[in-house]
Amino acid sequence: MQRVTAKICGLSTPETVDAAISHGASHVGFVFFAKSPRNVAADQARALTLRVPDHVGKVGIFVDADDEAIDRAIRIGGIDTLQLHGREAPERLVALRARHPGIGLWKAIPIRARADLDAAKRYRPVADIILYDAKTPEGTLPGGMGLRFDWALLDGFAHPQRWALSGGIDAGNVADAAGRTGARLIDTSSGVETAPGIKDVDKIASFLQRIAAL
């Protein structure tokens, strides 16, 4: 069976980027969303992505962003994958693929009920990875709030393509998350923080050590 890998999302300091890389993260994520406590500017992201070796994916997280913001993150910020966390339609992904050939495209699908999973099928032809995340309350941030959905909702679901699991996952429950759902790519943000936006190098290390043991 394919081994479990992990993305550490919402990084904003050299120390936490280095911790994610040294302990084996397959991807590191940088948030380009002004309302988030994890938001980084393109030049700040550039200083961080320069620390990342080629074998580690550099993911930019966007929420209904315009072309200019995405262009800047790729050109200046060194991003090689776009994670779209808003209401982007499949057509938006088609347009981004045309605008940025070779870019990775992930689409987050917010989950609260079994019916929410059906949205993933709309993105089958255009997204490289579907990221299942917990649906947050109306009027709040679309992710990074430490919420998890009922993993039993994934039981028997025919995933339309490669997928990842997110939402309230930390070192204490990541083994259960992977074992219960069969996820091979796990995404965490608040699960390795001491406060919103404040990553902890020891929590990152502990999380990735648990991943390596799966």
Single-letter amino acid code for the residue at 51: R
Considering the candidates 9, 80, 170, 187, report the single residue annotated as catalytic: 9
Considering the candidates 18, 80, 133, 200, report the single residue annotated as catalytic: 133
CA-based nearest residue to 79, from 64, 104, 61, 59: 59
- The answer to whether the beta carbons of residues 45 and 79 sit under 8 Å apart is yes
Helix H or strand E segment including 25: none
Single-letter amino acid code for the residue at 84: L
9 flagged as catalytic: yes
What SS3 state is found at 184?
coil
R_g (Cα) of the chain, nearest Å: 16
Give the catalytic positions in this structure: 9, 133
